Amino acid sequence: MDGSRGGIDGRVRTLLTLGVLSLLLLGGAAWGWSALTEPVPGAVDSPTCVDTDVTAGSRLFADQVVVSVLNAGDREGLAGQTMQVLVDGGFVQGDTGNAPNGTEVAVAQIWADTPAHPAVRLVASRLGPEAEVVRRDSTEPGVTVVVGDGFEELVEGKESVRVRRDSVVCSPPG
């Protein structure tokens, strides 16, 4: 009897072991799926720029200024080409895109709600005398430059500008 009883216990033990292992496999699969579908830590989009206080009397440099470029001309890729020239000139890349329909710009404009802002003055010094500053709101990050078909290249402008009064600049994070 002990022999047959031992055989039943062995089968029950095997079934219990297989059941526990199956539950562990299902639990591991559920945990793995959950981990696989979670967003990757640190992959959250960081902002293009953050508001940074600059004090009167300090100097503002190009690497502290985020610039976005909009194309108001007919030349394909003008915003991207202009952005590259600005980045090569030390500015920080913001967004590029097309200007709103109906926007007419001969050479270049800077859209700003505060034309005397130090970041606007610094960017304007690099766009040349034909560029104009237009009092206009923009939803683009940083200083908004709008270029037309007449825009060719940056001029040798200022490396930095003196901040005349305490201001807030859209600077790169970190």
Q: What is the pLDDT of residues 69-111, one digit of tens each?
A: 999 999 999 999 999 999 999 999 999 999 999 999 999 999 9
Residue tagged 């034909």 (tokens): 130
How does residue 43 score in pLDDT terms, banded at 50, 70 and 90?
low
Region 45-62 average pLDDT = 90
What percent of the chain stands above pLDDT 70?
92
Q: Are residues 26 and 80 in the same domain?
A: no
Which residues, including other chains, have CB under 8 Å from residue 146's CB and lie 6 or more apart?
69, 70, 71, 72, 99, 103, 105, 108, 109, 110, 111
- Same domain for 25 and 4? yes
Across 137-143, average pLDDT: 90
Residue 60 shares a structural domain with residue 113: yes
pLDDT category at 120 given cuts 50, 70, 90 is very high
Least confident of 4-8, 16-20, 53-57: 4-8
11 with 87, same domain?
A: no
- Look at residues 9, 25, 43 and tell me which one is the last residue of a structural domain: 43
55 & 26 share domain: no
What single string gives the DSSP state of each residue in 132-153?
EEEE----SSSEEEEE-TT---
* List of residues 6+ apart from 83 with CB closer than 8 A: 67, 69, 93, 94, 96
| Residue whose structure tokens are 């720029």 | 49
Are 23 and 91 in a shared domain?
no
Query: Are 97 and 166 a contacting pair, CB within 8 Å?
Result: no
Burial classification of residue 68, based on how many CB atoms lie within 10 Å of its CB (0-12 exposed, 13-18 middle, 19 or more buried): buried
> Is the same domain home to 76 and 136?
yes
pLDDT of residue 119: 96
> Are 39 and 85 part of one and the same domain?
no
Query: Total domain count for the chain?
Result: 2
Residues 89 and 9 reside in one and the same domain: no
Q: By C-alpha distance, which of 162, 132, 166, 146 is closest to 61?
A: 162
The domain containing residue 32 runs over which residues? 1-43
Both 110 and 158 in a single domain?
yes
Over 80: is that where the pLDDT of 5 sits? no
- Whether residues 93 and 11 share a domain: the answer is no
Q: Please check whether residues 38 and 64 belong to one and the same domain.
A: no
Domain final residue, candidates 43, 58, 74: 43
Distance CA 16, CA 13 (A): 5
Ordered DSSP codes for 2-65? HHHHHHHHHHHHHHHHHHHHHHHHHHHHHHHHHHHHSPPTT-SPPPS-EEEEE-TT-EEEGGG-
Q: What pLDDT is attached to residue 68?
A: 96
Q: How confident is the model at residue 1 (pLDDT cuts 50, 70, 90)?
A: very low
Greatest mean pLDDT among 13-22, 31-40, 57-66, 136-145: 57-66
